[in-house]
């Protein structure tokens, strides 16, 4: 569960990246 806090699930990541490219930093 701790890992989820560091980086959201793949599904959430895809939406996040499209919404805010800046969030793509860790990626």
pLDDT tens digits for range 4-23: 556 555 555 555 555 555 55
d(CA 21, CA 27): 10
- pLDDT value at position 22? 58
pTM given for the model: 0.13
Residue 2 pLDDT level (bands cut at 50, 70, 90): low
d(CA 22, CA 18): 10
- pLDDT value at position 23? 54
Domain ranges of the chain: 1-27
Q: Is the CB of residue 17 less than 8 Å from the CB of residue 23?
A: yes
């Amino acid at each position: 569960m701790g890992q989820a806090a560091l980086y959201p699930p793949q599904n959430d990541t895809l939406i996040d990246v499209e919404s805010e490219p800046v969030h793509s930093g860790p990626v």
